[in-house]
Chain A
Amino acid sequence: MRRRLLPLLPLLLVGSACSVDGIQSVGGRDGQGGAAIADLFGIFLVATLLFAAVVAAFLGAAALRRRGRRADGIEDPEGSGTERPLKTGLIVWIAAVAIGLFGLTLASHLTDRSMARALPDPASALRIEIVANQWWWDVRYHFRDPSRDVRTANELHLPAGVPAHVTLKSNDVIHSFWVPNLAGKQDLIPGRITDLMLIPRKTGVYRGQCAEFCGMQHAHMALDVTVEPREAFERWRAHNAAPAVPPTNALTRAGYDYFTTRECSTCHAIAGTPASGQVAPDLTHFASRRSIAAGTLPMSRGHIYAWIADPQGPKPGNAMPYIGLEADELHAVAAYLESLK
């Protein structure tokens, strides 16, 4: 029986490794911090597996071992005479545990120190401020020249190889910022400022996720992360620092009018228009993002309609209320938002 199950073990291991190439993978080595942590995790995994194997071997041996018998066939309470080697073995075992624990502590300490030493000066890094809300991320890029600043939501663009110093705040409850491919977690605590250094090494598309339970839609609080070459990042920055494109036809004009004079603009802002609400995601270049509502829906015309028509459907409990738009209003607002590339 045991023999038959044994071949399944490698299969299991392979199965657990499948996610390594994913956009949200704790085994990811796409950022400097992430790689160090992944190495440390590997050391811990090997060490603990080794010790677990020895424990399992001892338990198995104990279960299989027969007690010694005297000449008359009665069990010998004194044992089978293997006590002496066993005692030596146990002493060696205790020493190994002590050394092993010390080694793991040392590895953890050294990784921690080397990560801290490798941190570049925050003053020279790209400055990003992220404010967490139930349940979305407000993202601002700060530059020395404020006209270059960018405000966006639920997405993060990073130039590869450039350290990014992320300042983290929360508006309501405790959240946790986690892009597992790039770095470890960092909590966002109301009334406090925490920070994190991201040093992406590889271009690609990753997914961040709130890692501290923060209410009903905690699972739908994701962050699209794009690591791109410097030139591509600079293009993205320049495009996103610019005001929104003005409406071009009658339909988008009607959507613009509704958006800027009605419920939408009470909470949402679109740069370059009178819409200047500050409590909801900035929609200046909404249609250029990969998803709607913090990773809840992929960006597409159908999902834009769905979200505006009934925001409480796909993400119940979120702060966007049901507006009750008429069909022509919905059509116009959706067309306008879709034009905000």
Chain B
Amino acid sequence: MSSRSPNKLARIGLAGAALLALGACDREERDTSRQPKPETISLASSDPRAKEYENSSFHISQGQRYYSWMNCSGCHALAGGGGMGPPLSDDEWRYGGRMEDIVQTILKGRPNGMPAFEGRITEQQAWQLAAFVRSLSAQPRQDVLPGRSDDISNAEPQTLEERRPQQSESNTTLPSAEKD
């Protein structure tokens, strides 16, 4: 045993180094382009609560409970696929996709069917719902998105979804950003 050749030791060392090198293969990609993405522009929120709610897993999961409790799923479907109401898991926003816009939509209602929930739910619940609605299209930060749905679902976990850039008619994206 003690007569193991240094050659053998070197080979083991090499194998170990190769393993370590393999582990480094899946390194995160860092986008160093200085041109901001369109979504980051249109997301520049004026209300400080927007970030607070959207950056919190707790608020998103609370929103998920309310989404079925208050029967949002009745028109927009459990995973946001839409039905009687427009889908919420795609990248189109009729009345704006910022947190503030969604809160307004929930509280004040919109034409053609969206009821106003002001006075029926608390403002905090509206913000939590908005955060969940944005999570349906994987808009919030990746690390606060839920890895699975609370309910039995065949939808892909939001953490695996590709983040869809936001297209909004009310928020025109910068022309320079289109090239990005």
Which A residues fall within an 8 A CB radius of B? 172, 191, 261-263, 266-267, 279, 319, 321-324
* Nearest chain B residue, comparing its CB with the CB of A262: B119
Give Cα A319 to B125, complex, Å: 11
Q: Mark B113-143, 1 if CB is under 8 A from A, else 0.
A: 0000001111011000000000000000000
Contact of A319 among B65, B119, B124, B152 (CB under 8 A): B65
* Nearest chain A residue, comparing its CB with the CB of B65: A319
Q: Does B26 contact A (CB under 8 A)?
A: no
Chain B residues in 8 Å Cβ range of A322: 122, 124
Chain B residues in 8 Å Cβ range of A172: 150
Minimum C-beta distance from A87 to chain B (A): 46
* A261→B119 contact, CB < 8 A: yes
Give Cα A266 to B119, complex, Å: 10
Q: Does B15 contact A (CB under 8 A)?
A: no
* A323→B69 contact, CB < 8 A: no
* Nearest chain A residue, comparing its CB with the CB of B117: A266
Interface size on B, residues (CB 8 A): 11
Q: Mark B6-47, 1 if CB is under 8 A from A, else 0.
A: 000000000000000000000000000000000000000000
Minimum C-beta distance from A135 to chain B (A): 13
Q: Does B70 contact A (CB under 8 A)?
A: yes
Chain A residues in 8 Å Cβ range of B152: 191
User: Given A191-B152, A261-B119, A263-B119 in contact, is the A321-B69 Cβ separation under 8 Å?
Assistant: no
* B69→A279 contact, CB < 8 A: yes
Minimum C-beta distance from B56 to chain A (A): 14
Give Cα A279 to B89, complex, Å: 25
Give Cα A267 to B70, complex, Å: 8
Which residues 70-97 of B have a CB within 8 angstroms of A? 70
Pairs A–B under 8 Å by Cβ, sample size 20: A172-B150, A191-B152, A261-B119, A262-B119, A262-B120, A263-B119, A263-B120, A263-B121, A263-B122, A266-B70, A266-B120, A266-B121, A267-B69, A319-B65, A321-B122, A321-B124, A321-B125, A322-B122, A322-B124, A324-B122
11 more CB-based (< 8 A) A-B contacts, given A172-B150, A319-B65: A263-B119, A263-B120, A263-B121, A263-B122, A266-B70, A266-B120, A279-B69, A321-B124, A321-B125, A322-B122, A323-B122
Chain B residues in 8 Å Cβ range of A262: 119-120
Chain B residues in 8 Å Cβ range of A321: 122, 124-125
Give Cα A321 to B70, complex, Å: 14
Minimum C-beta distance from A242 to chain B (A): 27
Minimum C-beta distance from B131 to chain A (A): 15
Give Cα A322 to B121, complex, Å: 10
Minimum C-beta distance from B153 to chain A (A): 12
* Nearest chain B residue, comparing its CB with the CB of A172: B150
Minimum C-beta distance from B164 to chain A (A): 29
Give Cα A267 to B69, complex, Å: 8
Chain A residues in 8 Å Cβ range of B121: 263, 266
Q: Mark B57-69, 1 if CB is under 8 A from A, else 0.
A: 0000000010001
Give Cα A262 to B125, complex, Å: 14
Give Cα A279 to B73, complex, Å: 14
